[in-house]
Amino acid sequence: MSDRTFFLGEDQRIFRESLARFFEANWSLAQHRRLADGEPGFSRDAWTKLAELGALGAFLPERADGAGGGGLELMTAMEALGRALFISPYLWTVVLASSLLSAVGKKGDALLADIAAGKAIIGVALIEPRSRYDLNHVETRARRDGAGYLLSGKKRGVLYAGAADVVVVPARTSGEARDHDGISLFLVRTKTPGLALHSFATADGGRAADLELNDVRLADDALLGEVGKGLPLLERAVDLAIVAQAAEAVGCMRHLLDSTVSYAKTREQFGAKIGSFQALQHRMVDMFAATELATSHVQSVLSRISGPDDALDPRDAIMVKLQVDKAARLVGQEAIQIHGGMGMTDDLDVGHYVKRLTMMALTFADRDKLQERYRALQLLSRDQHRS
């Protein structure tokens, strides 16, 4: 499906229009509010229909019954999710988990096919109580026991784990808590004895769960990839997910911009439409410019991705997230300011979109962590160049 160009082709435009019609007919803010109150935190019926539409398999390889699309298909889907505020496991299952499954070849293809068909939801447990944003900080242990492994440890804030069939759990098979080597990835079914999930609502209306693993027994075939070599796979998958989530943020910003411009054209103050005030026009132009700049950054990076097997330069992911988070903050704040007090109420969708953008800015890494990682990557690149 992907033509590997910077601009959207006819296939992507048709896909975008199909998604827009789908969400207009099948999704609303009222549903979002209602589903946020309990498990699974999203519409399973809409999830199944997205699979039938081809949205779950658009980015997945053809060998796993996907459409073989690339980064532009992924951007189209994520932006549509953001516009509709359809909070779901899409990022974690279709992007993050699929990248990990694709990296191990045929072993992951069966699960990829289930994802494309809407039959499987996969979670990824990235965070531990003391790890913050450091993927290499893994205290959960996996020790050999007969023909398999026993896993023990704690994971925090695993998005949609309560609805997941399987969770990818990084566990340390060797080394100390912050070593880069010695981290292995395991596929853990959520019904496995010894695994306890404590689900809760997130600030943006989603669902997450804390996991406790107490001697969870796994067979050898639960191992994903090579023993002790899981960190590079995780880093690659997270970098892709960062850019994909940035595309979702672009969708949120576009909706906020459209809503704000529409509101300014109808709201009257001092006997005139507030959209006629030059100061507010300038602010809406700033919102437009920030949204378009963020869009171009995301599209530039994703246009070079042909599927979940691909890796991208981690520095690109960092720069995209920094730019998009900055733009999202400006667009969100201006939308609330121009809407005035109404922008803070639960009745309007503005506050819900701003909450979502705020949560996305804190996912995977904050600004300080991004800058720290970028400096480390630059130093590494310089040292490699010199040698």
Give the CATH number, domain containing residue 133.
Answer: 2.40.110.10
2, part of any domain: no
- Sequential DSSP letters for 226-282: STTBHHHHHHHHHHHHHHHHHHHHHHHHHHHHHHHHHHHHH-EETTEEGGG-HHHHH
Q: Per-residue pLDDT tens for 280-328?
A: 999 999 999 999 999 999 999 999 999 998 989 999 999 999 999 999 9
5, part of any domain: no
Between 386 and 315, residue with greater pLDDT: 315
For the cut 80, the answer to whether the pLDDT of residue 7 exceeds it is: no
206: nearest Cα among 81, 21, 320: 81
Q: Could you tell me if 60 and 81 lie in one domain? A: yes
Per-residue pLDDT, averaged over 143-166, amounts to 95
Q: Could you tell me if 221 and 325 lie in one domain? A: no
**Dihedral (Cα; 237, 243, 244, 248), 10-degree rounding:** 150
Q: Could you tell me if 317 and 374 lie in one domain? A: yes
The confidence band for 2, taking pLDDT boundaries of 50, 70 and 90, is: very low
4, part of any domain: no
The confidence band for 3, taking pLDDT boundaries of 50, 70 and 90, is: very low
Q: How far apart are CA 288 and CA 258, in angstroms?
A: 9
Q: Could you tell me if 170 and 48 lie in one domain? A: no
Partners of 167 in beta bridges: 123, 188
Per-residue pLDDT, averaged over 345-350, amounts to 87
Q: Could you tell me if 290 and 303 lie in one domain? A: yes
Token output for 366:
């904050």
Question: How much is the pLDDT for 170?
Answer: 98
SS3 call for 87: coil
358, part of any domain: yes
Partners of 208 in beta bridges: 159, 200
Per-residue pLDDT, averaged over 152-159, amounts to 97
CB atoms within 10 A of CB 77: 29
Choosing from 177, 209, 228, the residue where a domain stops is 228
Q: Could you tell me if 243 and 357 lie in one domain? A: yes
For the cut 70, the answer to whether the pLDDT of residue 114 exceeds it is: yes
Q: How far apart are CA 233 and CA 156, in angstroms?
A: 20
Choosing from 97, 120, 143, the residue where a domain stops is 120
Q: Could you tell me if 321 and 363 lie in one domain? A: yes
* Residue 325 belongs to domain with CATH number: 1.20.140.10
Per-residue pLDDT, averaged over 163-187, amounts to 97
What is the number of domains present in the chain?
3
For the cut 70, the answer to whether the pLDDT of residue 241 exceeds it is: yes
Q: Could you tell me if 245 and 345 lie in one domain? A: yes
Between 141 and 8, residue with greater pLDDT: 141
Question: How much is the pLDDT for 6?
Answer: 54
Choosing from 228, 249, 284, the residue where a domain stops is 228
Question: Could you tell me the residue range of the domain that residue 84 belongs to?
Answer: 10-120
Q: How far apart are CA 299 and CA 96, in angstroms?
A: 18
Q: Could you tell me if 369 and 244 lie in one domain? A: yes
Token output for 286:
């700033």
Q: How far apart are CA 50 and CA 71, in angstroms?
A: 18
Per-residue pLDDT, averaged over 381-386, amounts to 78
Q: Could you tell me if 202 and 246 lie in one domain? A: no
Summary mean pLDDT of the chain: 93
Q: Provide Rg for the chain, Cα atoms.
A: 21
Contact 86, 157 (CB under 8 A): no
Q: How far apart are CA 210 and CA 205, in angstroms?
A: 17
Contact 26, 53 (CB under 8 A): no
Partners of 186 in beta bridges: 169, 223
Partners of 209 in beta bridges: 158, 199
Q: How far apart are CA 205 and CA 188, in angstroms?
A: 26
Per-residue pLDDT, averaged over 157-170, amounts to 96
386, part of any domain: no
On the CB side of 211, how many CA atoms lie within 13 Å of its CA?
A: 37
Q: Could you tell me if 114 and 164 lie in one domain? A: no
387, part of any domain: no
Q: Could you tell me if 115 and 129 lie in one domain? A: no
Question: How much is the pLDDT for 385?
Answer: 75
129, part of any domain: yes
159: nearest Cα among 168, 171, 150: 168
Between 245 and 105, residue with greater pLDDT: 245
Q: Per-residue pLDDT tens for 50-97?
A: 999 999 999 999 999 999 999 999 999 999 999 999 999 999 999 999
26, part of any domain: yes
Tokens 């979109």 locate to 353
121: nearest Cα among 129, 111, 131, 130: 111
* Residue 52 belongs to domain with CATH number: 1.10.540.10
Between strands 148-159 and 207-219, the pairing is antiparallel
Question: How much is the pLDDT for 321?
Answer: 98
What's the pTM? 0.95
The confidence band for 104, taking pLDDT boundaries of 50, 70 and 90, is: confident
Contact 190, 148 (CB under 8 A): no
Contact 142, 186 (CB under 8 A): yes
221: nearest Cα among 195, 187, 189, 173: 187
Question: How much is the pLDDT for 38?
Answer: 80
Question: How much is the pLDDT for 35?
Answer: 85
